[in-house]
Structure 1
C-alpha cells in the first residue's frame, strides 16, 4: 500500500468520525419542543420511540460510525507484510567449491587421474588431468592447482576437447597457480576420455608435486551433479 493511498484513507476516516456532542445537543433540542406544537400524528409517532430510546439509538449509530472509522484508520496504519526474498535457483555445478583434501577419483559417471607429464624437465613441467565419463555432460568445471613453489610461472595450457567450448582462466590464488576450464552454456562433452593440461616453468632441479591438486565438477542432462578430486604422483 502506497503512502498516497494511506493518506487518502486516513482523511476519509477522519471525515466520518461522528461529533457526539453535536448529536446529543440535537436530541435534546428535539425532546425539548412542547407537545402542543405537534399534531396528534406527530405525538403518536414520537411516543413509539421514547427519549431514552432515541438517545440509545443515536449513541449506537455513533458507535457504529466510530468503529467503522477506526477500522479504516487501523487499515491505513497496518504495515505492509515483509517481502520474502526469492529463492536462489540451484546450480548443477558448484563453481565455488574449494579443493577437497585426500582423493576421490570416482563419482557418478566420472573417473579422473592427475599426473606429471613424463616430458617434464628440470626447468619446465606439465601437469595432466585425465577425465573419463560414461555419459555426456552438459556442465563441466575442471580446476588444476599448482602450488607456487620456487619459480613457478604459467607458460600455457591445452585440452583435447575443442577450445571454443570452454572459458579458460589462469591466475594465482591463495598460494597456487590455478587453471580453470568452464564449459560454455549450450555446449556439451561427449562420453569418453579427455585430458586437460597446465604448463609452467619452475626453479632449476626436480620439483615436488605433492601439494598440487585437481577437482572436477560435472552434470549431465536431467541428472544431478557429480564431483571427483585428487593429487599428483
Structure 2
C-alpha cells in the first residue's frame, strides 16, 4: 500500500496538464459546428452563444483538474479521519499579567511596583497583621479535641477516700465466688447532696463481663451506664438534675462474671464527686481484697 501511494504521489507531482491543447480541441469543435449550421434543425436544441460555450468549457476543464487533484491528494495522504472527529486547537499560552504601573498608565520612571503578597498554599492570599507582621493564626496547630464527658474519669484530682463532708470505702462482697463477684462502694455524707456522680472501674483480668448493678438510693433518681473501656468495665451512676441525696450512708454495687478461680481486684478503682451547699467534694480509692 505504501508503494502505491508513493507512485501516485510521484505521478501527481510530475503531471503537467496541456491547457493550450485542450482549448484548441474545444475551438475545433466549435468551428465544426459553425460549418454545419443546419445541425440544430435536425433535432438538436439551439446552441448557446460562442462566448458562453467557451466560458462553460473553460469551467469544465478547471473542474476536471480540481477533481483529479483532490482524488490524488486523498489517496496519497491516506484515509480521512472518521466522521464526527473535530480537531481541537491547542490552548493559547496565558498572557503575562501587566504590572500595576503599566495597567494604570503610570510613569515608567517611577520605579518598580511593590511585589504582591505571596499566595497561601490553600489558594487564598495571606493577610498581614496591622503591625506588618505575619498572621500567626494560620500557623497555630489545631486544638486537640476533648474526649466526650461519658469517657472522662470522674474526680481525676481526688487525693483520698475522704474529702470534707464525704467519706468512701471499696470492698469485694463476701458472697463472691470462683465465677462471679460484686464490687461494693460505700459512701457517707454529712450533708444533703445536690449533685453526685459515682464511678467503678473493674479491670479485665480474664472473662470479666457485666451481670448487673444496683444502689441503695431510688433507681429513678439516677442515670446508669455500663461500658467497656481501657480493657475493663466502667459502671457510672449520675444523680439526675433536681434530685437530692439525703445525708447518711449509701451503697452502690457492680456485679460481673470472671474467669474460673480467685480473682485479684488490686487493679480495680472507684471515684466519686459531689456537691453540697455549693461546695464540691471528691474521693478516690481502690480494692485490696482478692475474691
Q: Could you say what the CA RMSD is over the residues aligned between the two structures, in angstroms?
A: 2.2
**Could you tell me whether the CA contact under 8 Å between 1:115 and 1:127 is conserved in 2?**
yes
- Cα displacement (A) at 1:101: 9.1
TM-score normalised to structure 2 length = 0.46
Name the structure with the higher strand share: 1
| 1:62 paired residue number | none
Structure 2: 5+ residue runs without aligned partners?
Answer: 1-149
Find the counterpart in structure 2 of residue 110 from structure 1.
166
CA distance in 1, matches of 2:283, 2:257: 27
Which residue of the partner structure matches residue 284 of structure 2?
229
1:172 equivalenced with 2:172 (yes/no): no
Tell me which of the two structures has the higher relative contact order, counting C-alpha pairs closer than 8 angstroms and 6 or more residues apart. Answer: 1
The SS at the match of 2:220 is: helix
Match of 1:215 in 2: 271
Cα distance, 1:123–1:95 mapped onto 2, change above 3 Å: closer
**CA apart distance, 1:96:** 3.5
C-alpha change, 1:181 and 1:102, in structure 2 (3 Å) is closer
Shift of 1:100: 4.8
Alpha-carbon offset, residue 98 of structure 1: 5.2
Q: Aligned residue for 2:181? A: 125
* Cα displacement string for residues 91-112 of structure 1 (whole angstroms, at most 9, x for unaligned residues): xxx9944565996110021000
- After superposition, the C-alpha distances for 1:163-221 in whole angstroms (9 at most, x for unaligned) are 00000000101122000000000000000000000000000000000000000000013
Which residue of the partner structure matches residue 245 of structure 2?
Answer: 189
Q: How many residues align?
A: 140
- CA distance in structure 2 between the aligned counterparts of 1:106 and 1:199, rounded to whole angstroms: 24
Q: 1:124, 1:131 → 2: CA distance?
A: 24
Could you list the structure 1 runs, at least 4 aligned residues long, displaced by more than 6 angstroms after superposition. none
Q: 1:139 to 1:172 in 2, by over 3 A?
A: same
